[in-house]
Chain A
Amino acid sequence: MDIRELQGYANFFMTIFLVIMLYGYIIHLYRSEKKGESDYEKFGNIALDDEIDSKPIVPNPKTMNENEEQNK
């Protein structure tokens, strides 16, 4: 098998793989929302409510402690 043939196969399967991933992602997005596991649209509010002291949508546990201290 020469390099061109290998290149062709690599390209073909990788493309298929990525397309499956992309569709998987679409299904994941809508299913997890339907099942109520997560709500993607709420992330849109990150831009709207972006004051430094406003409540994060998903707080980062690593920086939360110091934040809590500051809040006291």
Chain B
Amino acid sequence: MQSNAALEYDYSVAKLFTYTTILFGFLGMLLGTLIAAQMAFPELNYMLGEYGTFSRLRPVHTNTVIFGFTLSGVFATFYYVGQRVLKVSMAESKFLMFVGKLHFWLYFVGALVATVSLLLGYSQSKEYAQYEWPIDIVIVLIWVAWGTSLFGLIGIRREKSLYISMWYYIATFLGIAMLYLFNNMSVPTYFATEGLGNFMHSVSMYSGTNDALVQWWYGHNAVAFGFTVPIVAMIYYFLPKESGQAIYSYKLSLLSFWGLMFVYLWAGSHHLLYSTVPDWMQTMGSVFSIILILPSWGSAINMLLTMKGEWNQLTENPLIKFMVLASTFYMLSTLEGPIQAIKSVNAIAHFTDWIPGHVHDGVLGWVVFMIMAALFHMAPRMFKREIYSKSLMEKQFWLQTTAVVLYFTSMWIAGITQGMMWRAVDEYGNLMYSFIDTVAVLHPYYAIRALSGVLYLTGFLMFAYNMIKTMTVSRELTQEPQFKSPMA
């Protein structure tokens, strides 16, 4: 027993990814707030010359929050949760430690280079897959490094049975690997000719309608496997651990897992309703989107029921509050998504602000809340200090909740207003509004959205401040807390 007492979980890689989660979260949300403000006040487009227009910054925003913030959060929690549920420490294998560090540094340098390349305008112009081929190759290497860590840890595990969170991490790994590779297939023009033109440029392997299908098969499911699957992995670990309650029904969690895996991938074509892709595929996209409610709600309800009989914790522990709100927003956006995928609703909603509205109640309410809660839970264990301020957490919670509500309500109204105005006709069947009328009318909603961005960003700064204080000056703990995270 003596020799074993020295063996501890090693969080060095998890800590590194925690820092980048905070850094990229701040940058991504700052950019998001800026571009939201640009839509309300176009003068803001001219602060950084060529590099500061809405169109140049929007891909930087989306990629920073997806591949910067969210992925960092996924990796940080993986290097934490993975060790704990497999009951094996990174310190036990020099090789895995090396791979973990390599994974981080490749990722960090890669992310910086990738961001600069987008600002310079190197873009494949496929949403969430803008990076040009040299960066894609770096991303593949990063993914291989993560896979090595993931399966390496599993290989030396003491707990033979894989906890449900690990299932979801494995699915994240496989899903993104498959989708990313297929969608980014392209031919570098420099090598297809005698070195003519720009080295970075490539041309997509798919054209037109095919490209659209592959792209939205990717685009939709990158959301699934980046914003849903690994976040579910987090909540299945952190909510039970923080509350001291085992998952309400482990069997239900297993069923939802397979249901989600099977159904999610079919739903991609709901992004292409009324387009030139074949009808049966559009219908398939609609139908499966509706079915998707079942496994999604299966997970969400399972989470809420985990708190059965323990609802008093909701008032006592702000971390529980964060996670319960996250699952509630998960339910909301997984209901909203299928509604938008119904063909007649989609006819109005598609191309309008309702779509960014839907995305953001998912990411702001579910993804970001869950990742912040996870980091708050990990901090006292990783840094052996209690959380710096409980009251700051409470304030942050309410500020950000208000921000999310403002965001999605304003975008719902904006989207439906615009969708209705586009199709409004007068008594003779002529279009009633010119396009610019439908833009001008949205100004107040864009202003509200910009305000919600400012509120949310402020909340995130409070989180960052709280985390940094926790890492540096908070009261030291002598013993690792078992369930509830200690906070001052």
Contacts and interface: CB of A to CB of B under 8 A. Distances in A.
Interface of A: 18, 22, 25-26, 29-30, 33, 40-41, 43-48, 50-54, 56-61, 63-64, 67, 70-71
B8 A71 contact: no
B255 A29 contact: yes
A45 B258 contact: no
Contacts of A64: 158
Q: Which of B156, B159, B240, B241 has the most chain A CB within a 10 Å cutoff? A: B159
28 contacts: A25-B258, A29-B255, A40-B250, A41-B246, A41-B249, A43-B161, A43-B250, A44-B250, A46-B85, A46-B159, A46-B161, A46-B163, A47-B236, A48-B246, A51-B87, A52-B4, A52-B8, A52-B83, A53-B1, A54-B87, A56-B87, A58-B160, A58-B161, A59-B159, A60-B157, A60-B159, A64-B158, A70-B3
Interface in B202-261: 236-237, 240-241, 244, 246-247, 249-251, 254-255, 258-259
Interface string B1-26: 10111011100000000000000000
Given A59-B160, A63-B88, A47 B7 contact: no
B255 to A, nearest CB: 6
A47 B258 contact: no
A58 B159 contact: yes
A52 B92 CA distance: 11
B98 interface: no
Given A33-B251, A45-B246, 20 more contacts: A22-B255, A22-B259, A29-B251, A41-B250, A43-B161, A43-B250, A44-B246, A44-B247, A46-B159, A46-B161, A47-B163, A48-B240, A48-B244, A52-B84, A56-B87, A58-B159, A58-B160, A60-B159, A60-B160, A63-B88
Contacts of B258: 22, 25
A60 B249 contact: no
B255 A53 contact: no
A30 B483 CA distance: 30
A42 to B, nearest CB: 8
B254 A40 contact: yes
Contacts of B149: none
B165 interface: yes
A30 B156 CA distance: 30
A41 B251 contact: yes
Contact of B156 (A26, A43, A63): A63
Nearest to A63: B158
B183 interface: no
A52 B89 contact: yes
Nearest to B248: A44
B190 interface: no
Contacts of A26: 255
Interface string B284-302: 0000000000000000000
A67 B244 CA distance: 27
Given A29-B251, A41-B251, A47 B241 contact: yes
B262 interface: yes
Contacts of A18: 262
A48 B88 CA distance: 15
B164 interface: yes
A53 B83 CA distance: 12
A33 B8 CA distance: 35
B165 A47 contact: yes
A48 B241 contact: yes
A56 B159 contact: yes
A30 B249 CA distance: 12
Given A22-B259, A56-B87, A60-B158, A43 B163 contact: yes
A30 B251 contact: yes
B157 A63 contact: yes
A67 B262 contact: no
A16 to B, nearest CB: 12
A47 B89 contact: no
A22 B161 CA distance: 20
Interface centre among B158, B247, B249 (most CB of A within 10 A): B158
